[in-house]
Amino acid sequence: MNSKEWFAEWFDTSYYHQLYKHRNDDEAAFFIKNLVDYLQLGQGEKVLDLACGKGRHSRTLNELGLNVFGVDLSSNSISEAQKHSKDGLRFSVQDMREPIENETFSVIFNLFTSFGYFDNSSENQKVIDAISVMLKPKGTVVIDFMNARKVVDTLVESEVKSVDNIDFHITRNYDGNHIFKHIRFTDEGTNFHFTERVQALMLSDFQQLLSKDFSNVRTFGDFDLSAFDSNISNRLIIVAQKN
């Protein structure tokens, strides 16, 4: 892992969590419950929350009776998540491109656009290959990604978000491959600049990535698991079964 990768730096700062502190936990819990109901998961089934952040999805999965392992590259996020560790809920630092040794799961969740951070598709394939290694036979992967087509079509080029007395100046652009979010702000006299860079992956890109080891690919367009429409859906949610 290159320590200069943007996500390794930005996601491990307190400012990242500050900017996104108002994420809707009720909406996230609603989504998780819908997924668990749809997948008909039994009590105690072992699942992985891949790129779990501070573990909000992991906690909900555990509250629904699942044995949850949450992993993330950010050591600061995992330190926060581990405050909630208990029987059936554990956390560890892990690069999503590498399989976790001696662990297998019935379902692997990759949620809230925690994919496509890399420069090329070969890195994306490493993630899918690691997921395949960690899944039990006929196991399921769930990928919750932005609907990149709609995001590109409705891109908000500039805005300011004020959070806890810090004005985050945000600009966005699309270069044909990646969607960039440039975040600039000043805190205690110091200027900061971070850039998020996510590949604008379409359904066809995911289908190609999954084609080697997965089948029965299903798609949904929102947290209520409505049908996916690339023109209007807010999300691209993919559910696929390991061969």
Higher-confidence residue: 87 or 21? 87
| Backbone CA torsion sign across 27, 150, 158, 12 | positive
Query: 6-146+202-242 maps to which CATH number?
Result: 3.40.50.150
What is this structure's pTM?
Answer: 0.92
pLDDT digits (tens, 9 = 90+) for 129-188: 999 999 999 999 999 999 999 999 999 999 999 999 999 999 999 999 999 999 999 999
Which phi and psi (to 5°) does residue 87 adopt? Answer: -60, 120
pLDDT in tens, 116-125: 998 788 999 9
For the segment 9-28, the average pLDDT, to the nearest whole number, is 84
- pLDDT, tens only, 29-41: 999 999 999 999 9
Domain chopping of the chain, boundaries: 6-146+202-242, 151-196
What burial class does residue 216 get, using C-beta atoms within 10 Å of its C-beta: 0-12 exposed, 13-18 middle, 19+ buried?
A: exposed
Q: Of 4, 9, 16, which Cα lies nearest the Cα of 185?
A: 16
